[in-house]
Amino acid sequence: MAGGRGSSAARLALLLVVVVAAVAGGAVAGGKVVHVEEAHRRSMLANGLGSAPPMGWNSWNHFQCDGNGEVVIRETADALVSTGLAALGYRYVNIDDCWAEPQRDAKGVDYLKYDNCNNGDLKPLERYPEMSRALMKVGRPIYFSLCEWGDMHPATWGATYGNSWRTTNDIADTWDSMIATADQNEVWSEYARPGGWNDPDMLEVGNGGMTNSEYVVHFSLWAISKAPLIIGCDVRHMSRETYAILANKEVIAVNQDPLGVQGKKVRMEGSSEIWAAPLSEYRTAVLLLNRHAKDEATIAAHWDDIGLPAGTPVEARDLWLHETLDATFTDKMSFDVAPHSCRMLVLKPRIQIQ
């Protein structure tokens, strides 16, 4: 697909083909950065990629087998550029299943997603190491996405062979599927770090199965979870609301933060949850999530839950309102959150933490 008449492949830094076959991070505790257990930092794939979660687009969620023609792919690449999404980091254009033929001319790819379909009963630890070794011999770095649907707990071994690994089965464009996928992915949070990421599947934002508020929750959860931000809708025909979600620079910045620590649930009370993730420069990302379908909830985040020293005054930036709140919080913060909605904030200490 590369080259040709000033194509979008040339204007995008990278045009990728996804093959579907059969800074060390740390955490903030007591105001100090502490390293995640070293046992989970061994044997990283040395291809120099994945310092932050990848961002891009994939054909499957919206088009499945109907979106792999040249027109759709070129128009999608054009749309990523013309809308400014490519400039925000969405630089991979991934062709998913149903494109393969027995023979293809060599084109050069930058991202390989190795799926679990038609695997010939070969075990993941047979297939993925072999492909990883082959990619390392190509002579150019190729992002390697392991996609065995989390069956053999790839978070525990995937970093040796790939840059990300699916922790779940396929997501569907529903609230229940999305929230369950986030839950399942969160279990493996300690294994994510720069160079290797947990992958809860591609984004459904904009595909029509959820409300805009639910898509905000979806994007917020993927961002704080340091998940790959791979768009799954038709970017040629996005609504303004869909674009506003996918193009939120402040939420993207949480996902791409160089500290690279995956967020996790730090408190659950009924349908109310608090997620938190340490960021660089002693900042903290906080997500207040109301999972209830009908009732508003008042959700309070306490400093001892999110890893801040007691009494620390912080400035709070609301990432969806795009405003710094006119208050200083010192031990907790509390907000009313609508059903199936969230508040996402970044907290910055007003004093130097030692």
Active site residues: 115, 170
The Cα–Cα gap between 153 and 144 comes to 17
User: In which residue are the tokens 């922790």 written?
Assistant: 167
Helix, strand, coil percentages (3-state) for the chain, rounded to 5, are: 30, 25, 45
The Cα–Cα gap between 164 and 198 comes to 6
User: In which residue are the tokens 């997620």 written?
Assistant: 275
83 Rama class: left (phi>0) / alpha (psi -120 to 50) / beta: alpha
Alpha helix stretches (DSSP H) within 256-336: 303-306
Closest CA to 27 of 266, 238, 340, 334: 266
Under DSSP, the state recorded for 308 is: P
Structure tokens at 60: 């499957």
51: Cβ–Cβ under 8 A, 6 or more apart, which residues?
23, 194, 195, 258, 260
Phi and psi torsions of 145, nearest 5°: -105, 115
The Cα–Cα gap between 73 and 62 comes to 13
Under DSSP, the state recorded for 321 is: T
